[in-house]
Amino acid sequence: MIQRESAIVSTNQDVVPADKIKLTYAVHWSNKDQREGIYNAQGQLVSKGLQQYLDEYTALHPNIEIAIQIIPYTEYADTLQALSDADLAPDIYQIYSPWGVSYVQNGILDNPPQYIKDDVIQNYVSTAGVTIAGNIWGIPTEINDFALLYNKELFKEGGLVDSSGNANYPKTWAELVTMATKLTKRDSAGNISQYGIAFLDEDWQVVDPFLSLLFSNGGRYLSSDLRTSLFNSPAGVAALEAELALFKNGATDINGNFFDFKTGKVAMVIAPPWTKSGFMEAFGDKFDATVGVAPFPPLKKQTTLGYSWFMGVMDKSQYKAEAWEFLKWISTDIQPETGTTRYGDLLANTIGAIPSRKVDFESHKTVLGDSFTGVYVDQMKNAVAEPNVAYSNSIKAALMAEIQAAWVGEKSAAAALTAAAKAVDQLLSSYSR
């Protein structure tokens, strides 16, 4: 059933200037499908990408041009600040919610018009990720968490099946370690040729799986006042030691590549839902038969890390009103033929993320309830939201470096988390509220 939304009213009037208005829309998407759409084998567009929506809008508004600016995820947090400092800021941004605290401190985000704020309050599943210092700073986009992806065929080949002959995925972390070890293969030189599980040299593949494991062990990331690290508690040390068992047992190493899951060289990965589109493209018509999704395997209690993103307008944009009007159109206007928004369709149908607008969350039941995304949606009730905190990028970088030091055996779990906590606490203490 489609929920009725509160109306959104803009006070901005359409005025056609003498010259075209050129807007820049900065995204972090590395997957071309997310920008250009998904096509079938016959070359027919089956799911729109961002570009199709930009083309639709500019056709309706001939005085406006919108260009996509790609900034890699690993560079986005620093690059957006640098572009603003150099007076080269894009007009429209999309950011990982925790980055917003430092951006607000530094004054690089535009304070949204009241009609945007009113709409966000009334029509979104949660406003937590977009609320900083009591103010709403943009439009929520996606709400995601982490689950386990496993290759059903590799499980069957390894004899990891249940009584019905289906892949018997791990229900606990201890089972994951055992299964990952069994599914690892090596070549004649002793190098891993098939990984039981693989990660990646990025914070969402180093820090976020650890935080999910930490929460499942009853631990906490930071104190409630965001002034002290808590991840180095006994629960945190035990969580990292449990993760290190994968490395000590030879089930993985730092040369593993998360994205090799799509080549059949990795049996398991810990993944957010947006990886769906890339893996669907890689496996083609074998996707459903090959890719299994299961809740994050816990140490004690079923939980996972939850996170969010939001979008808005940069403070140094020359065309703030026009940029907000475009965002209103793509994220709030209900399409009569679908009962959904354009941005909701982009998230659910093309990107594979979970849209946070109520009408989109309720109206994409088919895709949000499928065998892949349905697991993520079901886990939302157990997700622990990552807090919005200043210097979040630097905090995660410090924690990531120490976790990786433990991965390669340079430090024990306790020593690594103690060192990380010292660095993080220094960052937290420098933040004055």
Closest CA to 333 of 123, 178, 161: 123
Domain boundaries, the chain: 21-143+307-385, 147-305+387-429
Helices (H), 158-228: 173-183, 203-216
Asked whether the whole model's pTM tops 0.95, one would answer no
> Which of 127, 56, 116, 120 is CA-nearest to residue 325?
116
Question: How far is the CA of 338 from the CAs of 302, 343, 364, in angstroms?
Answer: 35, 12, 9
**Which long-range contacts link 168-176 to residues 24+ away (Cβ below 8 Å)?**
169/292, 169/294, 170/268, 170/294, 170/297, 171/294, 171/297, 172/297, 172/298, 172/299, 173/213, 173/216, 173/242, 173/297, 173/298, 173/299, 174/242, 175/297, 176/148, 176/268, 176/297
- pLDDT at residue 2, rounded to an integer: 33
pLDDT of 3? 37
The CA-based angle 61-361-9, given to 5 degrees, is 40
Q: Do the domains at 21-143+307-385 and 147-305+387-429 have one common CATH topology?
A: yes
For the chain, which residues score pLDDT lower than 70? 1-18, 431-433
pLDDT tens digits, residue range 102-141? 999 999 999 999 999 999 999 999 999 999 999 999 999 9
What digits encode the pLDDT tens for the residues 20-59?
A: 899 999 999 877 888 888 888 788 888 899 999 999 999 9
Altogether, the residues listed in the chain come to a count of: 433
CATH number for the domain formed by residue range(s) 147-305+387-429: 3.40.190.10
> How far is residue 176 CA from its own chain's centroid?
23
Nearest to 197 by CA among 149, 147, 229: 149
Which CATH architecture group holds 21-143+307-385?
3-Layer(aba) Sandwich (3.40)
CA distance 118 to 123: 9
What residue ranges in 3-52 does DSSP mark as E strands?
Answer: 21-27, 38-39, 45-47
State in Å, rounded, how far the first CA of the chain is from the last one: 43
Q: How would you label 407-419 residue by residue, b for 16+ Cβ within 10 Å and e otherwise? A: beeebebbebbeb
In the 8-state DSSP scheme, what is residue 316? T
Q: What is the pLDDT of residues 250-270, one digit of tens each?
A: 999 999 999 999 999 999 999
Cα–Cα dist 374/354, whole Å:
10
Which residues lie closer than 8 Å to 322 by C-beta, 6 or more apart?
Answer: 21, 23, 64
- State residue 10's pLDDT score: 41
Residue 13 pLDDT? 42
Alpha-carbon dihedral 126, 131, 136, 140, rounded to 10 degrees: -40
